[in-house]
Amino acid sequence: MQPSDISVDQIRHALSPFMGRTDIRLIILFGSVAAGVAGRDSDIDLGILASAPFDVTAMTQEIAGYLGTARIDVVDLRRASPVLAIQALRAGRLLYEAHPGDYATYYSLALRRYVDTAKLRAAQQAVIADFLAARGLA
pLDDT, tens digit only, all 138 positions of the chain: 677 788 999 999 999 999 999 999 999 999 999 999 998 889 999 999 999 999 999 999 999 999 999 999 999 999 999 999 999 999 999 999 999 999 999 999 999 999 999 898 888 898 999 899 899 997
Task: Indicate the pairing of strand 93-97 with strand 24-30.
Answer: antiparallel
* Burial of 3 per CB tally in 10 Å (0-12, 13-18, 19+): buried
pLDDT at 94: 98
pLDDT at 100: 97
pLDDT at 121: 83
Give all domains of the chain, ordered by start, each with its CATH number. 8-135 (3.30.460.10)
pLDDT at 1: 63
pLDDT at 2: 75
> How far lies 130's CA from each of 32, 119, 135, in Å?
33, 16, 9
Residue 81 CA from chain centroid, whole number: 10
Q: Is the CB of residue 71 less than 8 Å from the CB of residue 44?
A: yes
CA angle 24, 39, 31 (to 5 degrees): 35
What is the C-alpha to C-alpha distance for residues 20 and 17, in angstroms, rounded to an integer? 5
pLDDT at 128: 93
pLDDT at 46: 98
